[in-house]
Structure formats: C-alpha cells, structure tokens
Amino acid sequence: MRRIALFAALLAAGCESGPSREQVLTQFIGATEQQLVQAMGVPNRTFATGDANFLAYDERRTELIAPPPGPGWGWWGWGSPWPATVRQLVCETTFEVAQGRVRSFMLRGNACG
C-alpha cells in the first residue's frame, strides 16, 4: 500500500500543486536500505564502491506531442501538414547507502523536474 502512495506522490511531483520529486524522495534520507526497497521496489541496478552501495531506479515514459493545427490537406489527412512528435522522458534516481542507511540521492534525466 505504501508503494501505491509513493507512486501517487511521484506522479503528483510533476504537478505544481503537489510536492516536488525531491521533497518526496528526501523522506528516505536516514532510512534503512530495507525500508527503501520496501517502498520503492527492487532497483533496476545496484553497484558498490568502497563502503557505499548505490541503488538506481529508472522511470521511462513516452510522450506524444500533437502537431499544431494547420490549414488544408496535410500529409496525414485534413489538418496539420506536420506529424506528431514523440519525446522520450527519463528520470534515473540513484540512492547512496552507507552503513545500512540512505545517505543521499541524485536525480538525472529530462523528466525529474
């Protein structure tokens, strides 16, 4: 159930009215690795260096952007002569775990905002 609530909070992070993704993920600072995995699920990748473990979670989605309306007959039928644009949105969240506790996280990608 907590996983559903976290997913809903992350989806809301893209909205202006909800908490930001960083605000939602900050709650995991100081949590145990077990608590993180229970809430976020199994990570896509893990790796270790020295005394730290890194758990990476990927979020990917495709966005279809409709073309602007155009006059007359276009390549794709009545309306715009331009095709729709497909955009890949990616956000990778990497948590650093040291001594069994989440120490920090880093966001990377074009869909992390």
Do the bridges between strand 45-49 and strand 85-98 make them parallel or antiparallel, or are there none, so unpaired?
Answer: unpaired
pLDDT band, very low/low/confident/very high, at 99 (cuts 50, 70, 90): very high
How many residues are present in the chain?
Answer: 113
C-alpha–C-alpha distance, residues 112 and 103, integer Å: 20
3-class secondary structure, 10: helix
Per-residue pLDDT tens over the stretch 30-40? 999 999 999 99
Which residue would you say has higher pLDDT here, 77 or 44? 44
Does the pTM surpass 0.85? The reply is no
Per-residue pLDDT tens over the stretch 7-31? 555 555 555 578 999 999 999 999 9
